[in-house]
Amino acid sequence: MTAPTASRTGFVVAFADGDGTMVDSLGGKGAGLAQMTRLGLPVPAGFTVTTEACRAYLAAGREPPLLAGELATALALLEERCGRRLGDPARPLLVSVRSGARFSMPGMMETILNVGLNDAVVAALAVSRGARFAWDSYRRLVQMYGRTVLGIEGDLFEARLRAERAAAGVSTDQELSAGRLEVVTRDFRVLCREQTGEDLPQDPHEQLHRSVLAVFESWTGDRARRYRVHEHISEDLGTAVNIVQMVFGNGGPRSGSGVCFTRNPATGEPVPYGDYLVDAQGEDVVNGSRQTMDLTTLAAREPALHAELCDHLRTLERHYRDLCDVEFTIEDGRLWILQTRVGKRSAAAAFRIACDLVDEGVIDLDEALLRVDGHQLAALLHPGFADSAGHPPAAHGLAASPGAATGRAVFDAPTAMAWAARGEQVVLLRPETSADDVGGLLAATAVITARGGLTSHAAVVARGFGKTCVTGVEGLDIDSAARTAVLPGGHLLAEGDALSVDGTTGDIFLGSRQVVASAGALAIRAWTTSAPSASAPYLAEADPVVRAMGRLLAHADLRRTCTVRANAETFHDARAGRELGAEGIGLARTEHMLLGDRRVLVEQVVTGDEREAGLRSIEALARTEFEQILGAMDGLPTVVRLLDPPLHEFLPDLVELEVRAAVDRAAGTVDDAVERRLALVRRWHEQNPMLGLRGVRLLAVVPELVTAQVRALAQAAVALRERGLDPRPEVMVPLVADVGELEAALASVRAEVAAVVGDSGTELDVPLGVMIELPRAALTAARLAEHVDFFSFGTNDLTQTTWGMSRDDAETSFLAAYRGAGTLASDPFSTLDDEGVGRLVRLAVTEGRLTRPDLGLGVCGEHAGDPASIHLLLASGVDYLSCSPPRVPVARLEAGRYAVLGQSAATAPETR
């Protein structure tokens, strides 16, 4: 037979023919293998079946006609290259069949190792490499093939292995003898036949072929789907499949497997970090079933190989210009690199690595800014524990993902999800995690695993999701079945017991500890409030992560073209917002000044019961509050929104009042005051208060509320002026649907400002705005703009009213179910619905500016602090964002990133 000559065909690409840019076709893993082959790294030979093949398979529900032929051609080339043949007992080729999608989906899809083994080959392998090795490899193949291709429950295999370990009186698979492994392998095959009527095919080509199709199928598995929904990865991408010559790390003391990073992925420290296991396969390292050693141990055992590995790590980092993670195997003293990709990292590491790479001359500050994001910044600004002293940890493990969290102990993912769904904070404890635990991991505030290193499944996934995580807790004995754990000191922990977890130090504490803002948040405040020259020494002293954070935030500030304000109505929040970098207040919700005991004032005014007294009180206290926030924001704009109380939040509960009156009546002690109040509350009661007497409508019904508030605001501003300050009040009108409503409200505002200013003899310019938070407001923006200086998009209500779903109830009533079913990828109340609400925003921006080119355009709904929404909003043309004070740094960072992305579309992060 003549050797095939073409190495590249439509659905299959040999490693030697690909490169790192071909991620769409080859998936991340395939592109990495191709690129490493190109860089001359020691990569086993192999080829990739492309994502196009997978998509064609999934679309048609059967394999594309050309695929089998192309696979055969590629396999023949591989055999020639390796000098081995699939199924040839004399010189057997064994391959792994590994999934590898465009975006990394760790553990979500399938891998089958040792494809090519059959009864004849295993016998020959037992002679050439030892019986134990041969049977261990064969049993792994039957197990993985059985689970992945034949669809048999993985636990059935595990139970059989457990039984064999118990019978042999050993605790690990490594201790099982060749004879026992042979028995287990045969039992596994019986299990396959019993469960499916099928055995492991003895034709290795059939094994390979069906394994490839099974990996395609794993793209549509529940686990993978759930992960994609959470990570916003498109359903349409499909996975590539990599067929790689097997190298074995489990061949004795000069063999082993490891996972490492070019830098520390938890802290960002610029030193290679990794886990290594002697005489083990890669799965053993990742699943945490054995305690790993770190790279320094490898350096001591195999100095030359360690040096070679470090050399390759440098090559990879130079090529990718970023932190890389690498899987490697040592087979009888020879190093093989099996995989690389740009590595996942903690939020802290992301900031530090980005800035270190700037200092090393690898990237510039713009690119560094694109290497971090608002979610990571938010995670860093996440809390730590209040009182650091006097709390001896009950256990200590590896600080796998930073942050601090408390919650009640649970021991499996379903419990974690169920408890979290009813509002509990839970800490998930597992011996180690697998892909099946991801739902629990997402539901928990923190995750603890007894085993596993910084590269274990739990660590990688938790870091990716920004969850606090501690792994490898020595001496922690978790009994998942009994729902208990014994801590290293002997303490018995039961389900429901409170725990506190510090993912930054690896400490675990009994009980609930108080959680507080991070050093990073405190540092940001310190920088913003000190003069630039004074901040420099502070920056120099700060730890590298905090320093990196400050540096990238400062760069974002330099780049961004929009301003960032805070939503605040108290002195404390206004000051906090300013300290975190807010350049004004974009929304002071005046009704928040009237909560608690003050609620009754709104009731008095609205129901007309003691209206005058209520108005006087509201005016007096509003004036004090306005003076405070205008003072805190001295020199910066402060947008005060006229009262917008959903009335039910301010009136007494009708049912309670009715019950009280009924009880009084029954007892013959009718209370006139209660009866009168009941009548008034009945008069104002609404079935659907969110669509009722709110915002501008209330102001139309009780116009004195406008006058009282505006008078208080104008007087506060005048008073501050007289004290030499520079107050910049602005007023906006909420819940406007029609230009007539707006005109009436604005007429009152203007008249009242003019009256106060006239009396005082001071000049006061008060810009006026309207909130765009009803679809009709957006649709009639051109007319509204004739009357105002600015629009402020209230995207909370705009989402509620565009979707026609309650912002208060939708999550628990059906949104969670929608997300679970994949009906909606995300919650439109947290990430802007670009297609619907976003379209209204764009319409209003365009039409508003057509009427008034210098119209100010802000956003004050929650979306202004959400990273993805910020990009959409800025792309719509808004020029300021206003969000809650803790999210101000996130908005600053994302606005900077948006500006940089606009200038360098070529380096834009990939959309999924």
Q: Residue 95 phi/psi, 5° resolution?
A: -130, 160
The rounded Cα 781 to chain-centroid distance in angstroms is 35
Q: Which stretch binds Mg ion (CB under 5 A): 459-467, 484-492, 560-568, 797-805?
A: 797-805
795 touches, from Mg ion, ligand PEP, none (C-beta below 5 to 8 Å by class): ligand PEP
**CB closer to ligand PEP, 350 vs 860:** 860
Q: Check binding of 794 to ligand PEP (CB under 6 A).
A: yes
Please, which of residues 750-779 interact with ligand PEP by CB under 6 A? Answer: 773
Please, which of residues 589-628 interact with ligand PEP by CB under 6 A? Answer: 589
Please, which of residues 767-796 interact with Mg ion by CB under 5 A? Answer: 773, 794
Please, which of residues 838-877 interact with ligand PEP by CB under 6 A? Answer: 860-861
Shortest approach of ligand PEP to residue 818 CB, angstroms? 21
Instruction: Count the site residues for ligand PEP by CB under 6 A.
Output: 9
Whether the CB-CB separation of 629 and 569 falls below 8 Å is answered with yes
Q: How long a stretch of residues is the chain? A: 912
Q: Among 796, 806, 831, 851, which residue sits at the site for ligand PEP (rule: CB under 6 A)?
A: 796
**CB closer to Mg ion, 241 vs 774:** 774
Strand ordering across the sheet containing 273-278: 293-294, 273-278, 256-261, 324-331, 334-342
The position carrying tokens 């274990």 is: 456
732 touches, from Mg ion, ligand PEP, none (C-beta below 5 to 8 Å by class): none
Q: Among 281, 535, 795, 876, which residue sits at the site for ligand PEP (rule: CB under 6 A)?
A: 795
226 touches, from Mg ion, ligand PEP, none (C-beta below 5 to 8 Å by class): none
E strand or H helix that includes residue 688: none
Q: How buried is 668 (Cβ within 10 angstroms: 0-12 exposed, 13-18 middle, 19+ buried)?
A: exposed
Shortest approach of ligand PEP to residue 704 CB, angstroms? 22
861 touches, from ligand PEP, Mg ion, none (C-beta below 5 to 8 Å by class): ligand PEP
Nearest to 623 by CA among 582, 590, 645: 590
**CB closer to Mg ion, 70 vs 773:** 773
The set of residues, in sequence order, having a beta carbon less than 8 Å from that of 663 and lying 6+ positions away, is none
459 touches, from Mg ion, ligand PEP, none (C-beta below 5 to 8 Å by class): none
625 touches, from ligand PEP, Mg ion, none (C-beta below 5 to 8 Å by class): none
Q: Which stretch binds ligand PEP (CB under 6 A): 132-140, 415-423, 481-489, 791-799?
A: 791-799
Q: Check binding of 258 to ligand PEP (CB under 6 A).
A: no
Q: Check binding of 569 to Mg ion (CB under 5 A).
A: no
**CB closer to ligand PEP, 152 vs 832:** 832
Tokens at 66, concatenated: 């050309």
Q: Check binding of 373 to Mg ion (CB under 5 A).
A: no
**CB closer to Mg ion, 452 vs 794:** 794
796 marked among binding-site residues: yes
Report the relative pairing of strands 92-93 and 85-86 from DSSP bridges. parallel
Residues 253, 255, 261, 265, CA torsion sign: negative
Q: What CA–CA distance (Å, rounded) separates 818 from 805? A: 13
Q: Check binding of 257 to ligand PEP (CB under 6 A).
A: no
Q: Check binding of 862 to Mg ion (CB under 5 A).
A: no
884, 887, 888, 893: CA torsion to nearest 10: -160
Q: Which stretch binds ligand PEP (CB under 6 A): 17-25, 29-37, 206-214, 789-797?
A: 789-797
Shortest approach of ligand PEP to residue 568 CB, angstroms? 12
**CB closer to ligand PEP, 249 vs 794:** 794
Residues 348, 351, 355, 360, CA torsion sign: positive
Cα-based distances in Å from 828 to 815, 862, 865: 9, 11, 14
Q: How many CA atoms lie within 13 A of 638 on its CB side?
A: 33
Q: What CA–CA distance (Å, rounded) separates 889 from 544? A: 18
Cα-based distances in Å from 878 to 792, 845, 857, 874: 9, 7, 5, 5
Q: Among 79, 797, 862, 894, which residue sits at the site for Mg ion (rule: CB under 5 A)?
A: 797
Tokens at 262, concatenated: 């070019």
Name the 3-class secondary structure at 444. Answer: coil
**CB closer to ligand PEP, 70 vs 797:** 797
Whether the CB-CB separation of 138 and 260 falls below 8 Å is answered with no
Nearest to 848 by CA among 770, 745, 748: 770
The rounded Cα 616 to chain-centroid distance in angstroms is 48
Could you list the active site residues?
457, 860
Question: Could you tell me which residues are annotated as the binding site for substrate?
Answer: 589, 641, 773, 794-797
Q: Could you tell me which residues are annotated as the binding site?
A: 589, 641, 773, 794-797
Q: Residue ranges for the binding site for Mg(2+)?
A: 773, 797
- Residues within the interface to ligand PEP (CB under 6 A): 587, 589, 773, 794-797, 860-861
